[in-house]
Amino acid sequence: MSLCKCRFCSAPLTVTFADLGMSPLANSFVSPDDMAEPEAFYPLHAYVCETCKLVQTRDVETAEHIFGDYLYFSGFSESWLKHSEAYAAAMIGRFGLTADSKVVEVASNDGYLLQFFKARGVPVLGVEPAANVAEAALRKGIPTEVRFFGRATARRLATAGHQADLIAANNVVAHVPDLNDFVAGFEILLKPQGVLTLEFPHLARMMAENQFDTIYHEHFSYFSFLAIERVLAAHGLTVFDVEHLPTHGGSLRVFARHAENEALAVLGTVAALREDEIAIGLDDLATYRRFAAGVVRTKLSLLAFLIEAKRQGRTVAGYGAPAKGNTLLNYCGIGPELIDFTVDRSPHKQNRLLPGTRILVMAPEALLQAKPDYVLILPWNLKDEIMTQMAAIRDWGGRFVLPIPSVEVVP
């Protein structure tokens, strides 16, 4: 285990942001054949750096172990595909991308995003460390480099003629243990007039809405705008625009370019968000220390709801098997005694057991057969999509339950 130092500025980490106890890796699903075998549990403890205000967990496993064989496939969420298609159209229009351009996505997963650029005639390249996920992209005809991104990979790709007009890095910067090496790679791979976009859950929304379940070992860092701007600037990249997104419970899309590329003017959105974050205390350690109290309140309210439902003879099932759900269930100590099973659309997760809690994952049709009284939506950020897809649950009087920011039973 590494020393407890900030992964960006190397200052000592001493201030707790949230201590969620011991938890397995959130995407390490268990085969039923291994039901009797032990699992590895690690401290899930997030700190805030007193110097740069980056919220982060300690490294407990190597990235190669976590992401070498991965079970998250982006293409199984319809709303995420729509978001990605809209992003591709917007970037092509705003930055004039053509058949002479190159779009590189870092952490390209199963080709969910690059397929939309390819369909519009823009050359693409994916960089994806999980070989099993990259295979799905290759089957779609998306050229993909199977490797981790950083300085060495960026130099290799740049030398091979893959410098990018646009680098997309959506929901990946949080997953990087060596943050400085990763961000330095952007500066190397980006063309002099190129644009980098980053999307990531916004720490301000996470704190305001008590989204502590987005903390898990695969997420090494949690970014405010203040923190990401500091990280990018340290590697010669200037933020020139920022947008608020509804994805993942509230995200930011940050646009950056080489510091010397003044052709892309810094827009007023940048100063406005910087000032907003200072106003709500994201440069003040006291703000971060207050977060832990809300975490405990959510745990108590969810346990109280589930225990009372069981006492009344009600049945409860889950919907989804996301990493955030595994953080929530393990922190709260919720197992099959309170949730009979959960379902997920991804066949890669079906017929496996959730890590730690050992709750069985089934296909969504299992809900229609079991007819539970309550369905706990674990990927609450997709609640509208899920409640539409599974509207038949209401036919027998079943009701949806949202766990975050506090327990809510949806009529």
Q: Read out DSSP for 22-84?
A: EE--TT--B-GGGTTS----EEEEEEE-TTT--EEEPP-S-HHHHHSS----GGG-HHHHHHH
- Same domain? 108 vs 245: yes
| Same domain membership, residue 313 and residue 230 | no
pTM, to two decimals: 0.86
Token look-up 């969810």 returns 302
pLDDT of 85:
96
Q: Are residues 272 and 396 in the same domain?
A: no
Q: Kindly state the average pLDDT of the residues 215-242.
A: 96
Listed in sequence order, the DSSP H helices in 141-218 are 151-159, 179-189, 203-208
Do residues 268 and 301 both lie within one domain?
no
**Assigned domain for 48 exists:** no
Q: What is the CATH number of the domain that holds 261?
A: 3.40.50.150
Q: Is residue 11 part of a domain?
A: no
The neighbour count for residue 54, using CB atoms within 10 Å, is 26
Share of the chain above pLDDT 90, in %: 86
Q: Which of 288, 313, 338 is the last residue of a domain?
A: 288
End-to-end CA distance of the chain: 46
Tally of domains in the chain: 2
Domain that holds residue 166: 67-288
Residue 118 shares a structural domain with residue 144? yes
Least confident of 57-61, 145-149, 278-282: 57-61
Among candidate residues 97, 303, 186, 11, the one with its CA nearest the CA of residue 3 = 11
**Residue 33: is its pLDDT beyond 70?**
yes
Between vectors from CA 117 to CA 214 and to CA 244, what angle results, nearest 5°? 40
Which of the pair, 217 or 374, is modelled with greater confidence?
A: 374
Q: Is 249 helix (H, G, I), strand (E, B) or coil?
A: helix
In DSSP terms, 353 is beta-bridged to 30, 360
Distance, in Å, from the CA atom of 221 to the CA atom of 218, rounded to the nearest integer, reads 9
pLDDT above 70 (res 63): no
